[in-house]
Amino acid sequence: MKTKILFSFITLLIMFNANAQETTSEIKIKTSATCDMCKETIEKYVAFEKGVKKITVDVDTRMATVVYNPKKTSPEKIRLAISKSGYDADNIPADKKAYEKLDACCKKGQVCTDKK
């Protein structure tokens, strides 16, 4: 019984891990992130988007690197998600409502103090 439960737990883990191994695509999107706080906001929001496996925003280059499952989402949807988090994504401008809600320092032309 004990070992059974242990094994089913491990099996579950392996399944989840195997899940992550399926075919993925990668895309780079230019964002308007200026600091670590912006990076966090974008990553946290987009990570929950269906089909997104991983997202990393590089603050220096402002590039978001997104690993995703092309069967579940598309580059267009990912750009839209970034926009909804309050930032520009390539040619799609930031969603106005989300942008308004950002901390003052994360708005365009501002400098964040990076306080977390």
**Residue whose CB is less far from other proteins, 91 or 96:** 96
How crowded is the C-beta side of 76, counted as CA atoms within 13 Å?
Answer: 0
Q: How many residues does this entry show for the chain? A: 116
Distance of CA 7 to the CA centre of its chain: 32
Per the CB < 8 A criterion, the answer to whether 55 and 65 are in contact is yes
How crowded is the C-beta side of 113, counted as CA atoms within 13 Å?
Answer: 4
Indicate whether 43 belongs to the interface with other proteins (CB under 8 A). Answer: yes
Indicate whether 5 belongs to the interface with other proteins (CB under 8 A). Answer: yes
Residue from the set 44, 71, 72, 96 that interacts with other proteins by CB under 8 A: 44
d(CA 109, CA 116): 20
**Residue whose CB is less far from other proteins, 60 or 91:** 60
**Residue whose CB is less far from other proteins, 4 or 91:** 4
- In the complex, the residues that contact other proteins under the rule CB under 8 A are 1-2, 5-6, 9, 12-13, 16-17, 20, 35, 43-45, 47-48, 53-54, 101, 107, 109-116
